[in-house]
Amino acid sequence: MACCGVIFDTIKLLLCMLCDPFVRLARGLVPKSKKSIKGEIVLITGAGHGLGKEVATRLAVLGPVLVLWDINKENNDAVAAKLRASGCKVFPYRVDVTDEQQVVQTANKVKQEVGDVSILINNAGVFSGLPLTQIPRQVVRKCFEVNAMAHFWILQQFLPHMIDLDRGHVVAVASIAGHQGVPYMTDYCASKFAAAGAMEALYMELQSMGKRHIRLTTINPIIITTGLISNVKSRFPCLLPLLTVDETAKRVVSAILKEEEVVFIPGRSRHLNELIGCFSRRTRFKILDYVSYGFDLEDPKQPETVKQQKVAEIV
């Protein structure tokens, strides 16, 4: 009897594996419908600047209640005021997402003052861009704390309610650097690999718990010209452009509304990454060196003072 079970399960799995490419192809060909987020409570971290600000602005016109978190009160309040003036319900909170106590307290405030978050966008991020041997310890810690560990603290506040309802949506802004090592980004890459890995494992965990209706979206952009990463270069901008914040936010919002799972921006960067992954590490480095895309540590426009300022901003 047990043997029949194994045979049945094996056939079922093989069929599933055989159908997978066709299902993916069909999904790619048939445009996915966009969900409504009217009345949903959407929390965005790092909403005071860059991608978070732009995503908030694009979501605001779709009728949700927006909860904006940022460590920079002035920027966050300014974004909230602008969106409120356009008719959106907005609740800004100043919070350092690396401070577990603050996260718990602010999450409780949000639950009392606004309600239960149904869409969580973990977007806040920091970047230093230093050689491994020169990164101050506090910067390494901060990088992991903002880019990866904070996702856990925030998820622990809002995921339980989503699990109870088997409903909700978690979005993590990771990076292409969470899938490919890049020089002078060891801390950043490692933190983004961690964020992307946590989302992958959480997907499996929710499936095994039978919670099939909580959506997870991992966003992996290449470089965006928000200022987070300065001195960026691209030898072949047609192939690997420096993304504008506007086009990136547009794609992020579309991915959220279509409940896409893993999104690379631009889409071709996923295929390039998979292609590069077929080669040895040595050849992968040569390819990266050839395309010359990323952060330029040697750029004379990056004087020591700029580097020091960047470190001071992070810690």
Residues at the contact surface with ligand NAD, assessed by CB under 6 A: 45-46, 48-52, 70-72, 75, 95-98, 123-126, 146-147, 173, 175, 221, 223-224, 226-229
Q: Least Å distance between CB 133 and ligand NAD?
A: 22
Catalytic residue chosen out of the listed positions 188, 203, 290, 293? 188
Nearer to ligand NAD, 70 or 260 (CB): 70
Least Cβ distance, residue 277 to ligand NAD (angstroms): 18
Shortest Cβ 62–ligand NAD spacing (Å): 20
With tokens 């999450």, the residue in question is: 107
Cα 153 to Cα 7, 102, 128, 149, 166, distances in angstroms: 42, 10, 23, 7, 20
Cα 127 to Cα 119: distance, rounded to the nearest angstrom: 25
| Cα angle for residues 137, 122, 272 (degrees, 5° grid) | 85
Closest CA to 197 of 183, 213, 218, 182: 218
Q: Does 290 participate in catalysis according to the annotation? A: no
The smaller minimum CB distance to ligand NAD, of residues 202 and 252, is found at 252
CA-based nearest residue to 121, from 169, 159, 79: 169
88 versus 229: smaller Cβ distance to ligand NAD:
229
The amino acid that residue 100 corresponds to is E
Shorter beta-carbon distance to ligand NAD: residue 214 or 249: 249
Tokens representing 10?
């094996």
Q: How far is the CB of 255 from ligand NAD (least distance, A)?
A: 13
| Residues recognised as catalytic | 188
